[in-house]
Amino acid sequence: MKGLFVTGTDTGVGKTRVAVALIHALRARGLRVAAMKPVSAGSVPGELNEDVTALLQAANVDSDVSDVNPYAFAEPIAPHIAAQRTGVRIELEVIAAAYSKLAAAADVVVVEGAGGWRVPLNERDDMADLAQRLGLPVVLVVGLRLGCLSHALLAAESITKRQLPWAGWVANHVDPTMACQDENIAALRARLPGPCLGVQRFLPAENVQAASLEWLALPEELAS
């Protein structure tokens, strides 16, 4: 296993927080860990996307930003629309080539997708196609909020149908007011394939840096 593909049930479910936590946990095992955000959308002109910055700060392998984030768009909109507006086509082979460079210099590459599992990248391909092209085990981040059960099960069904390996899934508390949180997590445990790697408590944005890694378990293949 040279990497993990971190995806989510939707946008804003905490993929970056989980990806950063995975990177730190892997580094604690003495591994050289590179990070990748193949497509980012939403950044201040002249500055890196905040998700890309967080991943770069977490990784311990020096990498060219053009490999870490081959496609960067300023507008915080769907990637294929952002690409169209700038006259760019997102190409899976460009991303795969960048991933190969990162993998050659690292023990593990943690790749964070954009948006949800099936967010479009161009007129034909979507994020699921990219995960399949890279062939990496998938970590599904489930944002705990109303509607998450259906979103998680539909994503899991698609991942399984594509015969991609499961690294596991993470439940992330994104809505502190959600009713029946424990019951929803129990339903996910009963229905999702692959192990639950952890349940991350709700953290306001200003407290993210204080998060502990005690809640997170590494995928079995990387735990030893």
Catalytic residues: 37
Contacts of 113 (CB under 8 A, 6+ apart): 5, 6, 7, 8, 15, 38, 39, 119, 127, 130, 131
- Cα separation, 85 vs 114, whole angstroms: 18
Q: What angle do CA 217, 222, 224 make, to 5 degrees?
A: 90
- Cα separation, 15 vs 114, whole angstroms: 9
Nearest CA to 61 out of 97, 35, 37 is that of 35
Alpha carbon distances (Å) from 175 to 72, 116, 127: 28, 17, 25
Alpha carbon distances (Å) from 198 to 27, 63, 77, 195: 18, 29, 29, 9
